[in-house]
Structure 1
Amino acid sequence: MSRRPVPPFRLVASALAVGALLTTAACSDGGDGSASADTAAQARAAEQEAAKKAPTGSPTGSPTGSPSASPSALTESGARAALLTEADLEDDWNRVADAEKWRDSLLVGEVDVSDFLTAKAEAAECQRLLDRLYSQDLLGKPSGASALAGFEQGDSRLLEQVAAYDRAALDDALKWMDSLPVDCDQFTATDSAGEKRTVQVTEASVPDVGDAREGLHVTVRGTAADNPATLTLDIAAVRVGSSAVAVTGGGLDGREISSVEQGARQGTERLQTVLDGGTPSPQPTNLD
C-alpha cells in the first residue's frame, strides 16, 4: 500500500517544530557545545523525516511539481484527428468508410528467389514489401495508436495511415524502404494459381517535411480478370518523432504521385499539430 502524501500544512508544522526545538536548545544549552551538537543532529533528523513524507516531484510538497503527460504521445483520438480530409486533397477524391478492408490480389505472390544474386536474403526483403503493401502495414505493426483513411477517385485509391511506433523499429523501417530500389529493383512473384507478376521498385520523391522521409514507386504487371493489368503505386512515409504518416496512392489507372505528395505534406502538418497539442484546421493551410 502506498503512503498518502502529507498535506503541506503538516510539513510547515514540522518545520516550525524544528525551529522551536533549535530555539529552545539555544536557550537551555548554557554554552555546552556537545548539547548543541546533539540538538542539531535531532533537528536534521526531523528535517529528513519531513522530506521523506513530501510528495514526489516537488521538494516543498507543492502539487505544481507533478509531472504532466508528454505532448508528443499520440493517442487514438489524436491519430484520427490527424487523418487527411477530402479538403486536404486536390482533384475529386472521395473518402470511403471501409478502407481497412482494401486488399489487392496483384500483391499476393511468392517471390522467385532465382531473381536475386544473394538469393534468400534479398528475396525476403522483397517478399516483405509485397506482404506489407497487401496488409496495409508498410512500416510494420504500430506499437501504439493507429488510424486509417481511404479515398477513391475512379479506379484509383489513396490510403493513409497515421500511427505511433517504437522509434528504433520506425528508423529501421525507413532504412529498409531506402534499400528497396537497389535490393528489389525487379523481381518475379507467383500466386497460388501459378500466375506470374513482374514487380519493379524505384525511388520516388517526397516533400521535405517531418524529421525523416522515404518514397517508393512500385509497379506490378500481371493479369486481372484474365486480362493484362498493371498496378501502379506511389508511396510516401514521413516520420515525426516516434510517429509517422504513410500515404499510398495509385491503382490500375496509373500514377497518383501529385496526390501522394500532397497527402504526405498535409498529413505531416496535421500530425505535427496534434503532437503539439493542437487541433488541425478543417481547411488546409498550404495547398499549392
Structure 2
Amino acid sequence: MKVPTGPSGPYRLLARALTAGVLVSASACSLHGVLRPADAPSVERPATSATPSLTDAQASAALITQGELGGHWSATQGGATWRDGLLKTRTDAPDCQRLLDGLYAEDLLGEPTGARAVVGLDESGNAAQLRYQVAAYAAPSEVDAKLAWLRTLPSKCAQFTSTDVRGGRLNVTVVPSVLPGVGDAREGLRLTMSDASAANAGDGSGAAPMLTLDFAAVRVGDRAVSLTNGGLGGAAQDSTQQAVQIGTQRLQDVLAGRPPTTAPVEPTTRPVNPTTAPVKPTTRPVNPTTAPVNPLTGRPTEPLTESPADTDNTTADTADTADTADTADTADTADTADTAQEG
C-alpha cells in the first residue's frame, strides 16, 4: 500500500492557492519598496518666496534730493553735536523717555524688516539737519501701531523735564504737527527743548528754545517714509511739509513703476532777472583833449575839465563875448556912416 507523503485532492489545490497568494503579496511589497522617485506622480508645490514689497533700488530711487527743497540745502557734513548733548537725556516718564530714545536712535517706527535707504541734508540758513528714510516693515499694522502711539504723545508728554549728562535740567514740550494729507496714514510731532534754569529765573522772560526738532512719518502700504528736521537754530515747518509731500509722491511713483512727477527745484543762487531798466551812466562823456578857440582872444573858451556849474558860466561868458563883438560891429558901422556924411 502506497502511503501519501503530502496533501492530495482538494487539500493539495488549497495549498497551491495559498502559496500563490503569498507570492503575489510578497512581490507587490517588493515592488513598492524599490519604487523610484522618478516613477512617483509629480506634485506642484506652492511657491514659498514672496516678492519683496520694496527693493534696495526702489528705496534709493524714492529718496528726496537736495535740489527739491531749495538752494539752501546740501549734502550733510555729519551728525550734529547737539544730538548727544540734548537727546541723550533722562526723564522719569516712560513714554517721554521712549520718545527721546527713539529720536536719538532714529527708530521711532521700529526696526525695518526689508530694504531701506537714508539721506542726510544740511541747511545753511539756520544750520538745521534733515534725515530722511524710506523703509519696508513687516506689516501695515505694525506701522499703524507706532503712529497711534505717537499720536498720544502731545497729551502724555506735553511738558516734562529731562536731565542731561552734566545734571542740567531741560524743559521739553511736545505738540502735534500738521502734515499734508498724503499716503495711507501719517503723524507729525514738534519737540522743543529749553534751559529750565533760565525759565525759572523769575524775571518773566522765560527761556528761548535750545532745540527745535520736527518728526514726521507717512505709511504707504507696508512701507513708510520718516524724517527728522531741525537744530539749534530752529526748524522750518515748510521744509518738513515739502519733504513729506514730495517724498510720499516719489515713493508712490517708484512703486507703480512711473517716473517721478516732482521735478527738482531750480537753485536759488542763479542770476536774478533785472526788475528795472539799466541805469544811465552818471558821468558825462570825457571832454575832447583840445577845447574850441575863441576867435577874438585866440585862447580856449573853456578849461579841459570843469564842473557843470563852470560849464554854465563859460556859456554865459561866451554869450557876453558874442554880445560885445556885436556891439563893436555896430559901432564900426555907425562910424562908417558918419564918415560918409561928412564927405
TM over 0.5: yes
Counterpart secondary structure, 1:221: strand
Q: Of residues 66, 73, 78 in structure 1, which corresponds to 2:53?
A: 73
Counterpart secondary structure, 1:214: strand
**Alpha-carbon offset, residue 90 of structure 1:** 2.8
Counterpart secondary structure, 2:121: strand
**Sequence identity percentage:** 44
AA of the residue aligned to 1:198? N
Structure with the higher strand share, 1 or 2: 1
Q: Of residues 116, 130, 145 in structure 2, which corresponds to 1:172?
A: 145
5+ residue gaps, structure 2, are: 1-38, 197-206, 266-343
Counterpart secondary structure, 2:83: coil
**Correspondence 1:220 to 2:193:** yes
Counterpart residue number, 1:196: 169
Counterpart residue number, 2:42: 53
**Correspondence 1:135 to 2:124:** no
CA distance in 2, matches of 1:101, 1:269: 32
CA distance in 2, matches of 1:282, 1:153: 21
CA distance in 2, matches of 1:175, 1:91: 35
Give TM-score, length-normalised by structure 1. 0.66
Contact map agreement 1:238 1:244 (CA 8 A) in 2: yes
AA of the residue aligned to 1:277? G
**Correspondence 1:248 to 2:228:** yes
Give the alignment's Cα RMSD to 1 decimal. Answer: 3.0
* CA distances 1:39-62 after superposition (whole Å, capped 9, x unpaired): xxxxxxxxxxx99537557xxxxx
CA distance in 1, matches of 2:90, 2:123: 30
**Alpha-carbon offset, residue 103 of structure 1:** 3.4
Q: Which of 1 and 2 has greater Rg?
A: 2
CA distance in 1, matches of 2:181, 2:250: 15
CA distance in 2, matches of 1:282, 1:262: 11
**Alpha-carbon offset, residue 78 of structure 1:** 1.5
AA of the residue aligned to 2:118? L
**Alpha-carbon offset, residue 192 of structure 1:** 2.2
Query: Judging changes above 3 Å, is the alpha-carbon distance between structure 1 residues 69 and 272 closer, same or farther for their aligned structure 2 residues?
Result: farther
Give TM-score, length-normalised by structure 2. 0.56
Q: Summarize the alignment of residues 149-160 of structure 1 with structure 2, pairs less than 5 Å apart.
A: 149-154=119-124, 155-160=127-132
**Alpha-carbon offset, residue 144 of structure 1:** 1.5
**Alpha-carbon offset, residue 271 of structure 1:** 1.2
Contact map agreement 1:239 1:245 (CA 8 A) in 2: yes
Q: How many pairs were matched up? A: 215
Task: Indicate the structure whose relative CO is greater, using CA pairs within 8 Å and at least 6 residues apart.
Answer: 1
**Alpha-carbon offset, residue 100 of structure 1:** 10
